[in-house]
Amino acid sequence: MKIVVGLGNPGDKYAKTRHNIGFAVIDRFVKSCNVEFTKKYRDSVISKCIVEGEEVLFVKPQLFMNLSGDPAKRIIGKYNCSLSEILVVLDDINIPLGKTRIRERGSSGGHNGLKSISNHLRTTCFPRLRIGVGNSLPEDTKEFVLSRFTKEENDVIESTLDKACKIINCWVTTDISNCMRLFN
C-alpha cells in the first residue's frame, strides 16, 4: 500500500486557500476514482482507491497545518508503510504559481506542515510533491498563504491540480525517480 498525505487546514474558512492546495490535489484525485473521504482515523479523514492495481490510502490530517506530523505518523504506523511509500503533497511559496516539484527527500523549506512531519518521523527522507502557489514577497507570508487565489490564478491552479494528479498516478504506478525525470 502507498499513502498520499495532502496538507491543509481543516474547516470551510480555509477551503480554497493557497495553504490548502494539498487537500485540493488529493480531493481531485479521489474524486476521479469515484470515491469520497468517508472514514476517519484519529485526527485524519481517509479514503482508499485502487490505482492501476495498487491500493492507495489518501489522508487529510484534520489538525492545523503546523500539527500535521502527529496524524501523518499515526497513519504511517497503523499501515506499517516504509517512508519511500508515502508522498506528502503541499503548497510552496518559493515555487512560481502552477509549477510543481517532486523530490525523494529534502528540507522543509520553511513550510511548517512539512517541518512537523519531518520532526515526528525524525527524518527528511520521504517523497514530497510541492505545488507552487506564488510568491508572497513583500506581503506577510501567513496572510498570503491563507488567501484565496484570484480569478486569474484559478485557471492556472485548475490545470496544476490536473498535473499534480498525473504526478501522483506516476508515483503510484512507477517510482519516484521516473516521476522526477518526467515532471521536474
pLDDT at 136 over 70: no
Annotated binding site for tRNA: 14, 64, 66, 112
Instruction: Give pLDDT, residue 1.
Output: 93
Give 49-93 pLDDT, tens digit per residue: 999 999 999 999 999 999 999 999 999 999 999 999 999 999 999
**Catalytic pick from 2, 19, 60, 111?**
19
* Region of 54 on the Ramachandran plot (φ > 0 left; ψ -120 to 50 alpha; else beta): beta
Mean predicted confidence (pLDDT) in 146-174: 95
pLDDT at 40 over 90: no
CA angle 68, 74, 79 (to 5 degrees): 130
Mean predicted confidence (pLDDT) in 133-143: 78
Report how far apart, in Å, the C-alpha atoms of 94 and of each of 35, 113, 143, 146 are.
32, 15, 15, 15
Provide the number of structural domains found in the chain.
Answer: 1
Annotated binding site: 14, 64, 66, 112
Q: Which residue has the cell 520553511?
A: 110
Please give the model's pTM, rounded to 2 decimal places. 0.95
CATH of the domain at 86: 3.40.50.1470
Cell numbers for 117, please give them. 512531519
Confidence of residue 138 (pLDDT cuts 50, 70, 90): low
Under DSSP, the state recorded for 139 is S
| Known catalytic membership, residue 111 | no
For the chain, what percent of residues have pLDDT higher than 90?
A: 86
Confidence of residue 4 (pLDDT cuts 50, 70, 90): very high
Mean predicted confidence (pLDDT) in 90-103: 95
Higher-pLDDT residue of 36 and 2 is 2
Domain that holds residue 24: 2-183
Q: What CA dihedral angle connects 121, 8, 151 and 98, to 10 degrees?
A: 10
Q: Which residue has the cell 484559478?
A: 154
pLDDT at 143 over 90: no
